[in-house]
C-alpha cells in the first residue's frame, strides 16, 4: 500500500526507528524504575499511533489520501510535521 512511492530514505528511517524503539522497549520492560512519563513514552504514545494508523488504513478515504502521496517533498513535509512533537517528547524524557 503505497510502498513503491515511498523514498528509500523514508523506509530506512522507519526501520531504524522501529529497531531503536524495540531496544528501548526491552530496556523499559526489564528496568526496575518505571515512571509515569516512561509509560506515556513507551506504551501510550505508540499504542495511540498504532490505533491511528489502523484507523487510517481501514478507512477508504484515508487509504486514498495516503496512497496518493508522491515525491520526496511530500514525504519530507510529512516528516517535518511530526517534528512539532519533539518538545513534548523532550519534556517526557526529562521526567523519565
| Number of other CB atoms surrounding residue 64 within 10 Å | 9
Contact 14, 75 (CB under 8 A): no
Total of domains in the chain = 1
pTM metric for this prediction: 0.64
Q: Is the pLDDT of residue 86 over 50?
A: yes
pLDDT surpassing 80 at residue 5:
no
CB atoms within 10 A of CB 73: 8
Q: Which residues contact 72 (CB under 8 A, 6 or more apart)?
A: 7
| Grid cell digits, residue 8 | 528509500
CA 61, 62, 65, 67 torsion-angle sign: negative
Residue 1: predicted pLDDT: 44
- Structural domain harbouring 48: 3-95
Residue 67 confidence class, pLDDT cut points 50, 70, 90: confident
Amino acid at each position: 500500500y503505497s510502498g513503491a512511492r515511498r523514498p528509500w530514505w523514508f523506509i530506512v528511517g522507519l526501520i531504524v526507528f522501529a529497531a531503536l524503539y524495540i531496544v528501548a522497549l526491552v530496556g523499559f520492560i526489564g528496568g526496575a524504575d518505571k515512571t509515569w512519563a516512561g509509560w506515556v513514552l513507551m506504551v501510550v504514545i505508540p499504542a495511540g499511533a498504532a490505533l491511528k494508523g489502523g484507523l487510517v488504513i481501514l478507512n477508504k478515504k484515508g487509504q486514498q489520501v495516503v496512497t496518493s502521496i508522491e515525491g520526496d517533498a511530500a514525504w519530507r513535509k510529512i516528516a517535518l510535521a511530526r517534528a512539532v512533537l519533539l518538545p513534548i517528547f523532550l519534556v517526557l524524557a526529562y521526567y523519565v
